């Protein structure tokens, strides 16, 4: 038997491959510190778990859920968006449920991209933007995210012929893997670009509540008229430590939401109803746990910044997400550095190229581990002379 050409066209998923390498090293008896995947190490807040437990008792919730999400879930999500971003949304037409935003990314591409169509995507970026475009038969056009531009995509650099052929464009701020943030003026420019070229603008806002030092993330739908051309993907995974629960929602342009919901109705049977009622408790409940987790991430960030500076890196503290995007030591490739970190120091960090060609020369570090474990990782780097100074780095 033979797999399809579409599957041959995409590489193995980066985190699956990293886990295989981690397992090989761990099998040798190495105590591996995994600073790779962005999976919160804190538990789901107790009031959300309690709501799930209560919902499980209702036999009605054991049956198929309605396509697009329960009315109660959509109303709670719309109310949350109103409180958080002061945006108005129609429950019947401008929101649909998602089994996590990753699924939403894949399915919105399937809904709009035909073979030969262009999808404009950032690079480096979450790998699903590119892989799902290829699976749909589309052509990814990458916007380089460069440090000199603060990792903001240069919309003015997109060629006219590319813009004319493009069907969809993705932005992700606060961003994975760079941790970059944008202001509302940047989103206004993106909306104007999308409207000019009749491109569906998709803003992936999975990290909206994971912000620090006074920075507040914006919804693209805060831009006047954005619903004419844009949708936004939201996830409860990072905000409420619910990565394994698989729940999110898409909001915005009614035509695009309808198309996304139609694709989904042919592929999945939506989110288990009890999880939707747990999510309602998340939307309506206290924000203490969000504040507590953000404080933890800031503390870990500050430990990491101090340690990296001691090891020769020059960097500024991130203002959002739990990712740090750093240059590899001089003279190394991203893959070289990732290998050295794992083989010499027993530390997992993804190479920048896992997020696209423009990720060469960088690596990503996740702050999803406690300060003591982080410090141990930096102590190992010091022990093995893994420093930014190429002459001191072990190769």
Tell me the pLDDT tens digit for each residue of 284-342: 999 999 999 999 999 999 999 999 999 999 999 999 999 999 999 989 999 999 999 99
- Under the banding of pLDDT at 50, 70 and 90, the label for residue 16 is confident
Give the number of domains in the chain: 2
- Under the banding of pLDDT at 50, 70 and 90, the label for residue 20 is confident
Identify whether residues 111 and 185 lie together within a single domain.
yes
Q: What is the mean pLDDT of residues 168-183?
A: 98
In whole angstroms, how far apart are CA 237 and each of 14, 98, 174, 243, 256? 19, 12, 15, 4, 23
**Final residue before a domain boundary, out of 226, 257, 284:** 284
> Which residue range(s) make up the domain with 67?
46-284
Q: What is the mean pLDDT of residues 379-386?
A: 96
Residue 352, domain CATH: 3.90.1150.10
Identify whether residues 279 and 292 lie together within a single domain.
no
- What is the pLDDT, as a whole number, of residue 390? 55
% of the chain beyond a pLDDT of 90: 93
% of the chain beyond a pLDDT of 70: 98
- What is the pLDDT, as a whole number, of residue 13? 77
Residue 71 in this model has a pLDDT that exceeds 70? yes
Q: Is residue 202 part of a domain?
A: yes
Residue 395 in this model has a pLDDT that exceeds 70? no
- Under the banding of pLDDT at 50, 70 and 90, the label for residue 15 is confident
- What is the pLDDT, as a whole number, of residue 393? 42
Identify whether residues 21 and 111 lie together within a single domain.
no
Taking the C-alpha atoms of residue 344 and residue 347, their distance in angstroms, rounded to an integer, is 8
In whole angstroms, how far apart are CA 391 and each of 155, 235, 342, 385, 386? 38, 43, 20, 10, 10
Q: What is the mean pLDDT of residues 192-205?
A: 98
Identify whether residues 121 and 260 lie together within a single domain.
yes
Residue 228, domain CATH: 3.40.640.10
Q: Which DSSP symbol is given to 149?
A: G
- What is the pLDDT, as a whole number, of residue 337? 96
Identify whether residues 154 and 228 lie together within a single domain.
yes
**Final residue before a domain boundary, out of 230, 260, 284:** 284
**One-character DSSP codes across 185-240:** HHHHHHHHHHHHHT-EEEEE-TTTT-B-TT-----GGGSTTGGGTEEEEEESTTTT
Residue 61 in this model has a pLDDT that exceeds 70? yes
Identify whether residues 129 and 219 lie together within a single domain.
yes
CB atoms within 10 A of CB 344: 16
**Final residue before a domain boundary, out of 234, 249, 284:** 284
């Amino acid at each position: 038997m033979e797999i399809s050409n579409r599957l041959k066209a995409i590489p193995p998923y980066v985190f699956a491959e990293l886990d295989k390498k981690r397992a090989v090293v761990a099998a040798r008896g190495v105590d591996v510190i995994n600073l790779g995947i962005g999976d919160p190490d804190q538990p789901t807040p107790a009031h959300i778990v309690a709501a799930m437990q209560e919902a499980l008792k209702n036999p009605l919730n054991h049956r198929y859920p309605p396509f697009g999400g329960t009315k109660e879930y959509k109303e709670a999500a719309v109310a949350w968006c109103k409180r958080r971003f002061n945006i108005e949304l129609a429950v019947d037409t401008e929101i649909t449920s998602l089994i996590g935003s990753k699924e939403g990314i894949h399915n919105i591409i399937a809904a709009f991209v035909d073979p030969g169509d262009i999808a404009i995507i950032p690079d480096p970026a979450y790998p699903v933007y590119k892989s799902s475009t290829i699976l749909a038969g589309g052509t990814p056009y990458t916007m380089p995210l460069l440090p000199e531009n603060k990792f903001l995509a240069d919309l003015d650099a997109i060629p006219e012929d590319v813009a004319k052929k493009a069907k969809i464009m993705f932005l992700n701020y606060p961003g994975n893997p760079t941790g970059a943030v944008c202001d509302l003026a940047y989103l206004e420019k993106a909306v104007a670009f999308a409207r000019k070229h009749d491109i569906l603008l998709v803003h992936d806002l999975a990290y909206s509540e994971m912000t620090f030092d006074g920075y507040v993330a914006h919804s693209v739908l805060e831009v006047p008229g954005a619903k004419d051309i844009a949708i936004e993907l939201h996830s409860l995974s990072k905000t409420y430590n619910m990565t394994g629960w698989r729940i999110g929602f898409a909001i915005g342009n009614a035509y695009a939401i309808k198309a996304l919901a139609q694709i989904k109705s042919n592929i999945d049977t939506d989110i288990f109803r009890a999880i939707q009622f747990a999510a309602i408790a998340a939307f309506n409940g206290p924000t203490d746990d969000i504040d507590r987790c953000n404080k933890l991430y800031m503390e870990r960030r500050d430990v990491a910044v101090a340690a990296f500076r001691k090891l020769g890196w020059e960097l500024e503290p991130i203002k959002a997400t739990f990712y740090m995007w750093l240059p590899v030591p001089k003279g190394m490739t991203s893959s070289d550095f990732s290998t050295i970190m794992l083989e010499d120091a027993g530390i997992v960090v993804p190479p920048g190229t896992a997020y696209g060609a423009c990720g060469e020369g960088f690596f990503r570090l996740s702050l999803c581990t406690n300060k003591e474990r982080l410090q141990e990782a930096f102590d190992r780097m010091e022990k093995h002379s893994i420093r930014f100074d190429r002459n001191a780095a072990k190769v």
